């Protein structure tokens, strides 16, 4: 509502539900009770159309047998992002929607291709591949292109073949152009889509590429979910959250949102707490009607989220868009590695290394942010900060990126480098000599060679060798809680989120991902914590601890001068299982 949005339209960009047999029919009804299912029966589907475009004529084409593309995970057929009939239909629908419905924003969901690599073999996709890349889509039996297709689709494709890499790029191009078309149609109306991941190679299978879509989006939403007991293991999600947060930041500090789905209050609290810790907006969503049977004690949305929202307004009303994370390290995430399907000799990808770094940084309470492909190629942007760049397995690097990095190092910048680096160019072609050779030769004194985070904890080694000194260091208490420094209009805050939570499952309710959260307990035993913080990060002397678990009460935070250049903080988190914050008293 603060953004002027009270009524938002949400629909799937190219899905049309078409269960193909009785089993699929019942599966669809079991999993999608949250909306009214008005799909056509098989007889009516042959005649279904809108604005003169018959649905069966604008669907994706399966490369295996020429049938209409089908995504079994959602019991749906999909319209082709390159089909001019579909795009014309979509624009006409949007224009009618805008003329007849007073919406404040629009979420055009599922901007990807859930049919996966089995699509699309229609004439329009073939024409585009030929026009843009001078390539042909080969028959499905061509293993030099499609690779080993005997297993799951997630493992299809021969990334050693430049034609297949171009096919992956073409599919991402198509969806980015579709988003651009939607934005041009809706104009100033805020536009968003929904993504749950941005980093791994596996996303190439469904052509989900938020970085490619980002120029045309106004809001950025991480589909965090949060209803099941797995969600308490949140550290694995931190990389995705901060990755999407950086994408939003580079779009003029666009609103970043974490969507958490839940059944009960504690699931909603966890989702709210994650958003606070990440410094993004929170969007809570009920999953009651995703279950086969609605729980007898089912809650309404206001019932599960009101306590946490009201506490925030009354006790810690911070504008997340004014929050500035303390950044001590910049983690380079180069999308060229993902686009080209690069993996090391052990089969590990670039994103695997980044997630390992993210986990280490969280465990050591070191503030970080991501540097993505565009920024890595801009020396001016790199020079704006003096924090070290982490380059772990950045194998696919363009000449422009290497030049920008060289300029940054020549100006006094620092980098921590885990090989390989620059073994391939931005198109995935192997270089005769890795770019690391020339970089180390020219700027070796500015580069610290380290092991990859997937093999060790290089951050711990750098701290032990006194080559890196964190702003905050825990000196007493259980270290299984994460602490993150953030400033709001220059005011210091310290957010705590438990890394040792134990989810208590509901005894009888599960969704497709497992048991839902009924309650959350903490495995931490020593909650009397002490920290040393560099004085330049701690401008005031009186702070208090607040948490929704303390209701409207606060606890005193003991602070004082520590060793030279540092202050110490002592805080008691006893009885707090999930989230708390230190802020100005």
pLDDT class of 36 with cuts at 50, 70, 90 = low
Q: What is the dihedral of CA 319, 537, 253, 270, to 10 degrees?
A: -50
Q: Examine residue 304 and state whether it is found in any structural domain, yes or no.
A: no
Instruction: For residue 528, give the 3-state DSSP assignment.
Output: strand
Closest CA to 257 of 274, 234, 269, 232: 274
How are beta strands 501-511 and 491-498 bridged, if at all? unpaired
Report the sign of the C-alpha dihedral through residues 271, 194, 291, 500, in that order: negative
If one counts the domains in the chain, the total is: 2
pLDDT classification of 189: cutoffs 50, 70, 90: very high
Q: Which single residue is written with the structure tokens 């206001």?
A: 302
Split at pLDDT 50, 70, 90, the class of 408 is: very high
- Tell me what pLDDT residue 539 has: 65
Mark whether 448 and 524 lie in a shared domain.
no
Q: Which two tokens stand for residue 150?
A: 């005997």
Question: Residue 317 pLDDT more than 70?
Answer: yes
Q: Which of 532, 199, 146 is nearest to 372 (CA)?
A: 199
Helices 162-186 + 84-100 axis angle, to 10: 30
Tell me whether residue 266 is exposed, middle or buried, using C-beta atoms within 10 angstroms of its C-beta: 0 to 12, 13 to 18, 19 or more: buried
Q: Are residues 429 and 450 in the same domain?
A: yes
Mark whether 546 and 452 lie in a shared domain.
no
Q: Is the pLDDT reported for residue 293 higher than 80?
A: no
Rounded CA-CA distance 421/175 in Å is 30
Q: Is the pLDDT of residue 424 over 80?
A: yes
| Interval 221-274: pLDDT, tens | 998 766 678 889 999 999 999 999 999 999 999 999 999 888 889 999 999 999
Residue 333 and residue 363 in one domain: yes
Spatial CA neighbour of 497 closest among 204, 241, 322: 241
Confidence category of residue 32, pLDDT binned at 50, 70, 90: confident
**Statement: residue 374 has pLDDT above 80:** yes
218, 190 Cβ separation under 8 angstroms: yes
Domain final residue pick, 464, 497, 529: 464
Q: Which of 326-335, 426-435, 566-575 has the lowest mean pLDDT?
A: 566-575
Residues 6+ apart with CB under 8 A from 170: 125, 128, 129, 132, 133, 135
Q: Let me know: does 212 contact 246? Beta carbons within 8 Å.
A: no
Encoded tokens for 281: 């907006």
pTM, 2 dp: 0.95
What number of other Cβ atoms are within 10 A of residue 310's Cβ?
A: 11
Same domain for 451 and 334, yes or no, is: yes
Whether residue 381 is found in the same domain as residue 445: yes
Residues 478 and 459 in one domain: no
Question: For residues 200 and 351, what is the distance between their CA atoms, to the nearest angstrom?
Answer: 6
Alpha-carbon distance 237 to 197, whole Å?
9
> 293 in the Ramachandran plot: left (φ > 0), alpha (ψ -120 to 50) or beta?
beta
Is 206 contained in some domain? Answer: no
Instruction: Specify if 254 maps to a domain.
Output: no
Cβ atoms within 10 Å of 50's Cβ, excluding its own = 14
Q: What band does 194 get if pLDDT is binned at 50, 70 and 90? A: confident
Residue 120, preceding bond cis, omega within 30 degrees?
Answer: yes
Cα–Cα distance between 545 and 582 in angstroms, integer?
5
Predicted local distance difference test score (pLDDT) of residue 367 = 98
User: Quick check: is 430 in a domain?
Assistant: yes
Buried b (16+ CB within 10 A) or exposed e, 565-581: ebbbbbbebeebbbbbb
Q: Is residue 553 part of a domain?
A: yes
Pairing of strands 323-325, 481-488: antiparallel
Integer Cα distance of 57 and 42 in angstroms: 15
Residue 142 pLDDT > 90: yes
If asked whether residues 409 and 435 sit together in one domain, one would say: yes
With 0-12 / 13-18 / 19 or more C-beta atoms within 10 angstroms meaning exposed / middle / buried, residue 157 is buried
Instruction: Identify whether residues 414 and 522 lie together within a single domain.
Output: no
564 vs 59 pLDDT, higher one: 59
Residues spanned by the domain of 416: 329-464
Last residue in a domain, options 448, 464, 480: 464
Going by their DSSP bridges, the two strands 220-223 and 256-262 should be labelled as parallel
- Residue 368: strand, helix, or coil: strand
Q: Say which CATH number the domain at 573 has.
A: 2.60.40
Identify whether residues 478 and 534 lie together within a single domain.
yes
Determine phi and psi for 491, rounding to 5 degrees: -85, 130
* pLDDT of 297: 82
**Residue among 236, 237, 293 nearest 260 (CA):** 237
CB 178 within 8 A of CB 13: yes
pLDDT bracket for residue 497 (50, 70, 90):
very high
- Which sign, positive or negative, has the C-alpha torsion 223, 225, 230, 235? positive
Domain end call among 446, 464, 482: 464
Q: How far apart, in whole angstroms, are the C-alpha atoms of residue 250 and residue 384?
A: 14
CB distance 281 to 275 below 8 Å: yes
Tens digit of each residue's pLDDT (9 = 90 or more) over 339-363: 999 999 999 999 999 999 999 999 9
What are the beta bridge partners of residue 156?
none
Tell me if residue 83 falls in helix, strand or coil. coil
- pLDDT above 80: residue 512: no
What backbone phi and psi angles, to 5 degrees, belong to 501?
Answer: -85, 150
For residue 394, what is the domain's CATH number? 3.40.50.880
Residue 407 sits in the same domain as residue 529: no
Is 461 exposed, middle or buried (CB count within 10 Å of its CB: 0-12, 13-18, 19+)?
A: middle
Q: Give the bridge partners for 258, in sequence order.
A: 222, 282
Same domain, 432 and 484: no
Position 419 in a domain:
yes
Q: Which of 110, 100, 189, 116 is nearest to 151 (CA)?
A: 116
Q: What's the rounded Cα separation, in Å, for the pair 273 and 309?
A: 11
Determine, yes or no, domain membership for 8.
Answer: no
| Residue 162 in domain | no
Query: In 10 A of CB 365, how many CB atoms?
Result: 21
């Amino acid at each position: 509502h603060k953004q002027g949005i009270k009524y938002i339209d949400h629909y799937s960009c190219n899905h049309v539900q078409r269960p193909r047999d009785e089993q699929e029919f019942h599966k669809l009804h079991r999993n999608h009770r949250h909306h009214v299912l008005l799909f056509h029966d098989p007889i009516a589907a042959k005649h279904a159309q809108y604005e003169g475009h018959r649905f069966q004529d604008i669907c994706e084409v399966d490369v295996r047998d020429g049938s209409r593309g089908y995504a079994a995970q959602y019991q749906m057929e999909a319209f082709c992002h390159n089909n001019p009939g579909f795009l014309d239909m979509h624009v006409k629908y949007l224009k009618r929607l805008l003329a007849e419905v007073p919406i404040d924003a629009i979420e055009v969901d599922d901007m990807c291709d859930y049919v996966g690599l089995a699509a699309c073999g229609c004439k329009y996709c073939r024409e585009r591949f030929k026009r843009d890349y001078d390539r042909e889509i080969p028959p499905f039996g061509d293993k030099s292109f499609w690779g080993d297709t005997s297993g799951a689709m997630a493992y299809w494709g021969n990334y050693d073949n430049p034609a297949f890499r171009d096919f992956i790029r073409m599919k991402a191009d198509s969806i980015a152009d579709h988003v651009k078309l939607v934005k041009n149609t809706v104009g100033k109306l805020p536009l968003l889509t929904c993504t749950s991941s941005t980093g791994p190679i596996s996303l190439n299978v469904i052509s989900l590429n938020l970085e490619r879509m980002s120029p045309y989006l106004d809001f950025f939403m991480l589909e965090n979910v949060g209803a099941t007991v797995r969600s308490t293991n949140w550290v694995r999600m931190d990389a995705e959250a901060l990755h999407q947060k950086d994408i939003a930041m580079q779009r003029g500090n666009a609103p970043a949102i974490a969507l958490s789905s839940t059944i009960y209050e504690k699931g909603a609290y966890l989702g709210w707490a994650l958003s606070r810790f990440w410094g993004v907006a929170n969007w809570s969503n009920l999953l009651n009607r995703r279950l086969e049977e609605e729980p007898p004690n089912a809650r309404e949305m206001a019932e599960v989220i009101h306590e946490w929202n009201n506490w925030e307004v009354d006790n810690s009303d911070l504008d997340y868009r004014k929050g500035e994370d303390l950044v001590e390290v910049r983690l380079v995430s180069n999308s060229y590695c993902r686009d080209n399907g690069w993996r090391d000799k052990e089969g590990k990808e670039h994103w695997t290394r980044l997630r390992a770094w993210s986990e280490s940084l969280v465990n050591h309470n070191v503030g970080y942010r991501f540097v993505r492909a565009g920024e890595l190629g801009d020396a001016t942007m790199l020079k704006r900060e003096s924090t070290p760049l982490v380059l772990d397995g950045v194998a696919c690097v363009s000449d422009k990126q290497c030049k920008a990095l060289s300029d940054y190092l020549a100006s006094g910048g620092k980098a921590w480098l885990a090989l390989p680096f620059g073994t391939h160019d931005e198109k995935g072609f192997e270089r005769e000599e890795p770019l690391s050779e020339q970089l180390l030769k020219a700027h070796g004194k500015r580069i610290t060679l380290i092991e990859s985070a997937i093999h060790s904890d290089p951050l711990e080694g750098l701290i032990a060798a006194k080559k890196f000194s964190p702003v905050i260091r825990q000196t007493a208490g259980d270290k299984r809680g994460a602490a993150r420094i953030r400033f709001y209009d220059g005011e210091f805050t310290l957010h705590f989120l438990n890394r040792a939570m134990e989810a208590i499952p509901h005894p009888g309710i599960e969704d497709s991902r497992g048991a839902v959260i009924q309650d959350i307990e903490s495995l931490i035993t020593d909650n009397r914590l002490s920290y040393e913080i560099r004085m330049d990060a701690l401008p005031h002397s009186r702070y208090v601890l607040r948490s929704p678990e303390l209701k409207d009460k606060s606890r005193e935070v003991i602070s004082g001068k520590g060793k030279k250049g540092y202050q110490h903080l002592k805080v008691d988190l006893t009885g707090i299982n999930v989230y708390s914050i230190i802020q100005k008293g």
